[in-house]
């Protein structure tokens, strides 16, 4: 219900907007480009030279490094005929590339041969991971992650089987490779290495003077239906913000694929955010649709800025470090598949399939819940005010008691309840996601609604009193039975028009619960009138023609409300 009122959804890119089915498609080495065939995580494909002079030894060395650098908990498995990765999909893509070039048996033997002795895990501040391996009497340090970051801490580059000193020109060429791949929508993944003769105590001891090896271009296609879901959000007045740790140009390319406005002024990088004051950021947060190279701390700051501008924010997250942003958001949405327990505990919702499309469906469901809470209230208040108007109106003009206490109890406990429950199961109204989100301060009962309830209740009460007065000539018990039954039938009319506040009944989808509820309520009322228990209720059997007079009241109620809707008089 809270998600239905959100007007901003901040979503992670990888695995939520995209499939997280990553495939290495391009290998960029200095002066050389290779294309990789195959799709998904299936370990079948070829590595083809498409530009420059190839060096088989360099490619082999890269594949060796990828094979032994992959975390032990990353596994390639086949389930129901489909290849899947357990663990990091990025590392999974690198492992699949190694399988394509080396074969499964070789990869397994390499992992055993070059034993892993230490790992400095990836984190979102360093934006890299480093592993240390035994390698021919020395140690080999392998670093992977954001290529532009690795480039900054590299002093040489691999070229034709040997290390060449990094120059300004070489650095520019590698930077151009990164830009070219990112602009084409690829996730960029760098690999660098260093031979050492010691086991480092900290990442700072080894993540320097590296030899830059390659930039991999990894494709991670958008999920089916995401573009349409974002269009639905736009029509519903919901701003979608994509948040990613990827390169800015990759984020822009993916944003354009899914229909987000990713012009230069609408994209912000984490490093730009770092140097902005809160005041400066608050001035531009309305227009930013894409955040690139961000950390969990940036996420929390984004939520804070959006909330300060009056937005109701939903934020997705999966890691332990996402917990502050998830707690700070109006609605935290944790990933059910890749999310940590900490992230799930910090969230109000868990997305079981990690799919952005499901978030939009949840928004729709949230709006349905709120609307379907209002409908029984609309129905019950108007009917109860009609009962009050009948009883007090008759007293005020000096008529005998119009209802017995047991009549009121029966109406409120039995015939009221079933239609009210059925209204709670009303299907979504047409155009529900075409309307802007409701205000967080919107009340169930506004001043205009209260006036409407009083008017309709008074109209109902007045007609019941008029019919009661006309029937008094046939005796008090007869007139009371008519008033009692008329109120029940009128409630049927109110339940029909309460299905929507502003749409005519012929524009609404069917409610499979309402008609059975009305039939059961009518049957119960007929049992009270026409069986011996009518004595306990102080009622008498009514001749069939009496129902023609009583039916006028609910018909007037229905026509009056449908005319209001037809003339678009909103409540």
37/49 Cα distance (integer angstroms): 11
**Whole-number pLDDT of residue 65:** 96
| Nearest partner of 259 among 236, 287, 228, 237, judged by Cα | 228
398/396 Cα distance (integer angstroms): 6
Task: Give the DSSP letter string of 234-262.
Answer: HHTT-EEEEE-SS-HHHHHHHHHHTT---
510/544 Cα distance (integer angstroms): 30
**Whole-number pLDDT of residue 82:** 86
CATH code matching the domain that covers 21-219, chosen among 3.40.1110.10, 3.90.1150.10, 3.30.450.20, 3.30.70.2190? 3.40.1110.10
- Given a contact cutoff of 8 angstroms between Cβ atoms, the answer to whether 192 and 212 are in contact is yes
Q: For each successive 10 residues of the chain (571 residues), what is the average pLDDT? A: 90 90 93 92 93 90 95 88 88 94 92 93 90 93 96 94 93 95 93 95 94 95 93 94 92 93 91 94 95 92 95 91 92 90 93 92 91 92 94 95 95 90 92 84 84 94 96 96 96 93 89 94 95 95 95 95 86 72
Catalogue the active-site residues. 12
End-to-end Cα, the chain, rounded Å:
21
- Given a contact cutoff of 8 angstroms between Cβ atoms, the answer to whether 379 and 472 are in contact is no
Tell me the domain boundaries of the chain: 3-14+228-354, 21-219, 365-566
356/335 Cα distance (integer angstroms): 10
| Nearest partner of 7 among 330, 254, 263, judged by Cα | 330
Angle formed by the axes of helices 476-497 and 447-471, to 10°?
150
Going from the C-alpha of 497 to that of each of 368, 428, 451, 535, the distances in angstroms are 17, 15, 17, 33
Rounded to the nearest 5 degrees, what angle is found at the Cα of 191, between the Cα atoms of 186 and 197?
Answer: 170
- Given a contact cutoff of 8 angstroms between Cβ atoms, the answer to whether 30 and 11 are in contact is no
98/100 Cα distance (integer angstroms): 5
433/286 Cα distance (integer angstroms): 22
450/529 Cα distance (integer angstroms): 34
Helix (H) or strand (E) holding 65: helix 56-69
**Whole-number pLDDT of residue 298:** 93
334/317 Cα distance (integer angstroms): 5
- Given a contact cutoff of 8 angstroms between Cβ atoms, the answer to whether 537 and 410 are in contact is yes
Query: CB neighbours (10 Å) of residue 325?
Result: 26
Which class does domain 3-14+228-354 fall in?
alpha beta
The number of CA neighbours under 13 Å toward the Cβ of 516 is 7
**Whole-number pLDDT of residue 148:** 94
Q: Which residues share a beta bridge with 34?
A: 27, 49
Distant-in-sequence, close-in-space partners of 69: CB < 8 Å, separation ≥ 6: 94, 129, 131, 142, 144, 191
150/169 Cα distance (integer angstroms): 16
User: Any idea which fold 365-566 has?
Assistant: Calcium-transporting ATPase, transmembrane domain (1.20.1110)
Where do the DSSP E strands lie in 337-459? Answer: 349-351
**Whole-number pLDDT of residue 351:** 92
Going from the C-alpha of 555 to that of each of 150, 394, 403, 535, the distances in angstroms are 76, 22, 22, 29
- Given a contact cutoff of 8 angstroms between Cβ atoms, the answer to whether 199 and 118 are in contact is yes
**Whole-number pLDDT of residue 435:** 87
């Amino acid at each position: 219900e809270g998600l239905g009122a959100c007007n901003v959804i901040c979503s992670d890119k990888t695995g939520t907007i995209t499939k997280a089915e990553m495939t290495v498609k391009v290998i960029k080495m200095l002066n050389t480009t290779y294309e990789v065939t195959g799709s998904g995580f299936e370990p079948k494909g070829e590595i083809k030279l498409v530009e420059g002079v190839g060096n088989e030894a360099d490619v082999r060395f890269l594949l060796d490094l990828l094979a032994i650098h992959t975390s032990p908990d990353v596994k390639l498995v086949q389930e129901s005929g489909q290849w899947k990765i357990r663990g990091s999909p990025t590392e999974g893509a690198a492992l699949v590339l190694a399988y394509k070039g080396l074969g499964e048996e070789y990869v397994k033997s390499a992992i055993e041969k070059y034993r892993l002795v230490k790992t400095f895990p990836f984190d979102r501040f360093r934006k890299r991971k480093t592993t240390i391996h035994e390698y021919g009497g020395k140690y080999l340090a392998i670093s992977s992650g954001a290529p532009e970051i690795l480039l900054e801490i590299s002093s040489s580059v691999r070229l034709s089987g040997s290390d060449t000193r990094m120059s300004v020109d070489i650095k520019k060429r590698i930077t151009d490779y990164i830009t070219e791949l990112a602009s084409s929508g690829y996730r960029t993944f760098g690999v660098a290495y260093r031979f050492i003769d010691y086991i480092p105590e900290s990442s700072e001891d080894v993540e320097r003077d590296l030899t830059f090896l390659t930039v991999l271009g990894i494709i991670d296609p958008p999920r089916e239906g995401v573009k349409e879901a974002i269009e639905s959000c736009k029509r519903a007045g919901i701003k979608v913000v994509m948040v990613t740790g990827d390169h800015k140009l990759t984020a822009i390319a993916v944003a354009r694929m899914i229909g987000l406005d990713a012009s230069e002024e609408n994209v912000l990088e984490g490093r730009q955010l770092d140097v902005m004051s809160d005041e400066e950021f608050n001035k531009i947060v309305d227009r930013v649709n894409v955040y690139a190279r961000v950390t969990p701390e940036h996420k929390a700051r984004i939520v804070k800025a959006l909330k300060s501008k009056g937005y109701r924010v939903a934020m997705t997250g999966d890691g332990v470090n996402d917990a502050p942003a998830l707690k700070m958001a109006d609605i935290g949405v944790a990933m059910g598949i890749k999310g940590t327990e900490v992230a799930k505990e910090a969230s109000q919702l868990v997305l079981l399939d990690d799919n952005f499309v499901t978030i939009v469906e949840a928004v729709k469901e949230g709006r349905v819940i709120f609307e379907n809470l209002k409908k029984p209230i609309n129905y019950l208040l108007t009917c109860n005010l009609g009962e009050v108007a009948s009883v007090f109106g008759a007293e005020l003009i000096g008529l005998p008691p119009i209802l017995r206490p047991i009549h009121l109890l029966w109406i409120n406990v039995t015939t009221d309840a079933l239609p009210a429950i059925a209204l709670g199961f009303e299907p979504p109204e047409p155009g529900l996601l075409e309307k802007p989100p409701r205000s967080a301060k919107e009340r169930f009962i506004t001043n205009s609604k209260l006036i409407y309830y009083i008017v309709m209740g008074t109209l109902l009460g007045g007609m019941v009193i008029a019919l009661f007065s006309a029937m008094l000539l046939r005796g008090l018990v007869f007139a009371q039975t008519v008033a009692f039954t008329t109120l029940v039938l009128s409630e049927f009319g109110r339940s029909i028009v309460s299905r929507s506040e502003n749409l005519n009944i012929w524009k609404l989808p069917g409610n499979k619960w309402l008609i059975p509820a009305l039939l059961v309520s009518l049957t119960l009322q007929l049992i009270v009138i026409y069986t011996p228990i009518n004595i306990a209720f102080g009622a008498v059997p009514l001749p069939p023609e009496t129902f023609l007079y009583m039916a006028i009241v609910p018909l007037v109620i229905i026509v009056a409300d449908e005319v209001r809707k037809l003339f678009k008089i909103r409540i």
